[in-house]
Amino acid sequence: MKRNNSVFKLFALVGLISVSTQAFSQDLVDKVVAIVGTKVILHSDIEKQYVQYVAQGGVETSDVRCTILDQLLLQKLMINQADIDSVTVADAQVEGELDRRMRYYIKQIGSEEKLEEYFHTSIRQLKSEFRDIIKEQLLVQTMQSRITKDVSASPSDARTYFESIPVDSLPYMDAEMEIAQIVKMPVVTPAEKLAVRNELEEYRKKILSGEGDFAVYAALYSKDPSSAKKGGELGFFERGTMVPEFEAAAFTLKPGEISPVIETKFGFHILQLIERRGDQINIRHILLQPTTDDAALAASVRQLDSLRTQIISGTITFEDAAQKFSSDDETKNNGGLLINPETNTTKLSPDKIDRLLFFQVDSMELGKVSAPLIMNTPDGKTAYRLVMLKSRTQPHKANLRDDYTKIQEVATSEKQNKVMSEWVAKKIKTTYIQFNDDSINCAQLDHWKKQTN
């Protein structure tokens, strides 16, 4: 059972931040290690994950590569079965997950620029690099959900599982909080938008007339710092990488041609096509963003003050107010509750909470609504929000009263792992599995090799 736990957690916990595939040096000649159905596992697939494991502080032991190969075999078995069963994931779902992870990693590392410096490439190229990885992970998650959709742990199962754990082996649970927010972005006035549009129009006229150079203007004036230092150049990307308005303009350009001013959620742009290479294009752009003045920020504060009064008086609940009035799309439909991206739950340990927010809520009483608090959005803009501390737990030894939900989740996971193990054993018997003669020799892979014998 322990082996299965570590295997199945792979698909929920695999991250992108530690090692880029560009950082992996393939000095050795690559080779096929194993084939599962129509899916191939390469030596480089194992080595990339091994490098990532070590970079995350993992201990280098002789069986690490065996464990990685075990996980890859399971992953390929499920993806192969997804092909057979015509199970797919929508492109929109892949893009949404890519965006969510990128936002999380940008928040962790500090800014888009720092993330790009870390990987020595652009955000768009990172997304392109990881798109297939994310798609495979989502396929595996979809297959797992189909296989275990009817499996759950009853209260009796949860209690039985908890009572099976020796008292001296009960884990200590970290302190956790549930935090809800209502975010109000300051409104950008039509006059501010028009001013930015007119400024870009002037740049465009001067570039078209030969008075100025696009790359120079981008370096001097663009508000996209990662591309500005490269003369506005974004690097090659394909369709589905950028927001729709940007792509609609970019892919219609001819080499050297400059687009009209376009508006996206990031601001206003003008684009210049540098080169087209098959289905990919390389673009320069200049981005200008309307600024919000003190009056707009003050208006946001007044709106939040009014909402706070209504919530405290009972005219509206915090949850309804978040859904109707919050500017944060990620939390508004969840009653304003922040989500832990690593666990996909609302439980946040202190180290997973933005430092400023933690200090703002640490001394709050449960259920109390804060005054409007200043915040910085992931794209660096200033906004205000109301915050409510929904729950708080102190570090403690696990017990059924405080940790029933988690215990039930673990009990459910145990039942699901059993069902998954039975499914894997069945599919191994009916799926073509072939190992290279020089494959890693590991006892833990014997259950896969029985098929080949």
Kindly state the average pLDDT of the residues 436-451. Answer: 75
Same-domain pairing of 17 and 141: yes
Domain final residue, candidates 288, 320, 352: 288
The answer to whether the CB of 398 falls within 8 A of the CB of 407 is yes
Domain final residue, candidates 264, 288, 312: 288
Alpha helices in 314-349 (DSSP H): 318-325
Per the structure, the count of domains in the chain is: 3
The answer to whether the CB of 11 falls within 8 A of the CB of 145 is no
Q: 258: which strand partners?
A: 272
Q: Which two tokens stand for residue 434?
A: 């072939």
Contacts 24+ apart (CB under 8 A), 245-249: 246/271, 246/285
Same-domain pairing of 368 and 406: no
Same-domain pairing of 20 and 71: yes
Same-domain pairing of 98 and 155: yes
Same-domain pairing of 346 and 243: no
Residue 107 identity: K
Identify the residue whose tokens are 């006059």.
Answer: 191
Kindly state the average pLDDT of the residues 249-273. Answer: 94
Quick: pLDDT tens for 360-413.
898 899 999 999 999 887 666 788 999 999 998 888 899 898 888 889 989 999
Half-sphere CA count of 254, side-chain side, radius 13 A:
0
pTM as predicted: 0.56
The answer to whether the CB of 328 falls within 8 A of the CB of 339 is no
The answer to whether the CB of 192 falls within 8 A of the CB of 291 is yes
Same-domain pairing of 56 and 107: yes
The pLDDT confidence band at residue 451, using thresholds 50, 70 and 90, is low
Q: Which residue has the higher pLDDT, 301 or 124?
A: 301
Q: Which of 231-245, 266-280, 414-428 has the lowest mean pLDDT?
A: 231-245
The pLDDT confidence band at residue 98, using thresholds 50, 70 and 90, is confident
The pLDDT confidence band at residue 206, using thresholds 50, 70 and 90, is very high
Quick: pLDDT tens for 2-24.
334 433 333 333 444 444 444 44
Percent of the chain with pLDDT over 70: 91
Same-domain pairing of 62 and 134: yes
Provide the pLDDT for residue 213. 94
CATH number, residue 390: 3.10.50.40
Give dist(CA 272, CA 276) in Å, integer: 11
Domain limits for position 413:
2-166+400-449
Same-domain pairing of 95 and 226: no
Residue 419 identity: V
Provide the pLDDT for residue 163. 92
Q: 286: which strand partners?
A: 270
Provide the pLDDT for residue 72. 93
Provide the pLDDT for residue 450. 65
**Mean pLDDT estimate for the chain:** 86
Same-domain pairing of 324 and 344: yes
pLDDT at 231 over 80: yes
Closest CA to 136 of 36, 281, 33, 24: 36
Domain final residue, candidates 260, 288, 316: 288
Provide the pLDDT for residue 19. 43
Q: Which two tokens stand for residue 40?
A: 């191939």
Same-domain pairing of 329 and 182: yes
Quick: pLDDT tens for 338-368.
988 777 788 888 888 888 889 889 889 999 9
Same-domain pairing of 11 and 153: yes
Calculate the CA dihedral of residues 216, 221, 222, 227 and round it to 10 degrees.
40
pLDDT at 117 over 90: no
Closest CA to 224 of 110, 363, 303, 122: 122
The pLDDT confidence band at residue 425, using thresholds 50, 70 and 90, is very high
State whether the Cα torsion 301-322-263-105 is positive or negative. Answer: positive
CATH number, residue 24: 1.10.4030.10
Same-domain pairing of 276 and 329: no
Closest CA to 440 of 70, 77, 30, 74: 70
